Structure 1
Amino acid sequence: MPVITIAQSKGGAGKTTLALALASEFEALGGSVFMLDADRQNSLLNWHRDRIAAGRGGDSRIMVEDASQLRDADIGVAINKAREVAQLVIVDSEGTSNFKTAYAAMDSNFVVIPTRSSRLDLERTVETSEMLGKMCGGVPYRVLITQTGQVARSKAEWEIDSQITAALPTFAEQMHTLDAFRAMSNFRMTLGEVEEHKLAKTEKARIIAQSILANILDQIQNREAVDA
């Protein structure tokens, strides 16, 4: 089953939000998702536990397991076990540079590097991409620019975006700052549940998440066809 690792050595780039958005839309398609929370902040795990405590998610096809306490080299074992029980595996890595992220990427079919439009994020993004090249040669990846405004952008942000797209493989989509994405965390819901309960407008958020997910799965499928 496909494995996606979300990797970024700088915190606050939206890794967990992206993981939830991708899982939400894959589940909406009828698929099952196993998410490994390798970040010691346990944002994904807390989201999952709070859902269960609130009586939501009992029949959900999204599973979450704590991988933050595993030894770095053991993340591969956890990934393989997750592959046995779900149709998609997502690893939410820690917002620091560590070997666990590298090991997870080695056992992944695709890596997404979320980044904000800032100089510091760009520097950490380049570091993450270099790590993938040196330690995980061959694993495909793309950079996703996150937390952008839909209309108002500063000249500095546009400049950083252009540097990112010129230097690294980048998604055409950007993950805008939208109420629907925040609502997933605030209300411990998937995007579909946020829409069902009318807690935020979800159309744009779901289109973005669906497009990113489709892009990733297409690239994985194309890579497998070439390797076959």
Structure 2
Amino acid sequence: MPVVTIAQSKGGAGKTTLALALASEFDALGGTVHMLDADRQNSLMNWHRDRQATGKGEGSRIVVEDASQLRDADIGNAIAQARSLAQLVIVDSEGTSNFKTAYAAMDSDFVVIPTRSSRLDLERTVETSDMLTRMCRGVPFRVLITQTGQVARSKAEWEIDAQIANALPTFPEKMHMLDAYRAMSNFRLTLAEVETAGLARAEKARRIAQAILAQILTAIQTKDSNNG
């Protein structure tokens, strides 16, 4: 089953939010998702444990496993086991440069690099893409610009976005700062559950997540067809 790793050597780029959004929409399609939380902050695990403790998400097909304490070289075995348990595997890596992220990417079918529109994030994004190019040849990846305003943006942000798009493969969508994404974490819900509960307007957030998920799955299918 497909494995997607969310990789970024700088923290605060929205890795966990992206992982939850992708899992939410795959779950909404009726698919099963196994998520490996390889970040020692355990944001995904805390989300999952709180859901279980409060009885939320009954019938949800999303499972989260703590992979933060695994040795770097053991992440591959965890990914292999997860492949047998669900139709989609998502690895939320740690927001630092480490070998566990590199090993996870090696065993993935696709890697997403989330980044904010800042000079420091751009530098770390280039660092992460260089790591993927050197160590994970053949694994496709794309950069996703995150945490942007929908309307008001500075000239510097637009220029950085252009630099990223000119230098690296980039998603056409941007993951804006939307209340629905925050509500996933705040209320321990999926995007579909946020929408059903009326806690935030989720239509746009869901459309963005659906488009990103579709592009990832299409890229994986195309890669597999070419290799086959």
Identify the TM-score tier after normalising by the shorter chain.
over 0.9
Structure 2 CA distance for aligned equivalents of residues 58 and 73 of structure 1: 34
Alpha-carbon RMSD: 0.5
Where does the alignment leave 5 or more consecutive residues of structure 1 unmatched? none
Aligned pairs for 1:156-171 within 5 A: 156-171=156-171
Q: Which residue number corresponds to residue 42 of structure 1?
A: 42
Cα distance, 1:137 vs. partner? 1.1
Structure 2 CA distance for aligned equivalents of residues 37 and 58 of structure 1: 21
Structure 1 CA distance for aligned equivalents of residues 102 and 57 of structure 2: 31
Q: Which residue number corresponds to residue 123 of structure 1?
A: 123
Where does the alignment leave 5 or more consecutive residues of structure 2 unmatched? none
Offset from partner CA, 1:81-123 (integer Å, 9 cap, x none) = 0011100000000000000000000000000000000000000
Q: Which residue number corresponds to residue 178 of structure 1?
A: 178
1:224 aligns with 2:227: no
Structure 2 CA distance for aligned equivalents of residues 124 and 25 of structure 1: 28
Structure 2 CA distance for aligned equivalents of residues 106 and 80 of structure 1: 12
Cα distance, 1:60 vs. partner? 1.4
Aligned pairs for 1:93-104 within 5 A: 93-104=93-104
Cα distance, 1:59 vs. partner? 2.3
Q: Name segments (4+ residues, structure 1) moved above 3 Å.
A: none
TM-score by length of 2: 0.99
1:215 aligns with 2:215: yes
Q: Which residue number corresponds to residue 189 of structure 2?
A: 189
Cα distance, 1:138 vs. partner? 1.2
Structure 2 CA distance for aligned equivalents of residues 46 and 120 of structure 1: 28
TM-score by length of 1: 0.99
Q: Which residue number corresponds to residue 5 of structure 2?
A: 5
Structure 1 CA distance for aligned equivalents of residues 113 and 55 of structure 2: 33
Q: Which residue number corresponds to residue 60 of structure 1?
A: 60
Amino acid at match of 2:33: V
Q: Which residue number corresponds to residue 106 of structure 1?
A: 106
Structure 1 CA distance for aligned equivalents of residues 70 and 58 of structure 2: 26
Number of residue-to-residue matches in the alignment: 228
Structure 2 CA distance for aligned equivalents of residues 101 and 11 of structure 1: 13
Structure 2 CA distance for aligned equivalents of residues 59 and 22 of structure 1: 17
Structure 1 CA distance for aligned equivalents of residues 177 and 21 of structure 2: 13
Structure 2 CA distance for aligned equivalents of residues 10 and 163 of structure 1: 18
Structure 2 CA distance for aligned equivalents of residues 109 and 119 of structure 1: 28
Aligned-pair identity in percent equals: 79
Amino acid at match of 1:191: L
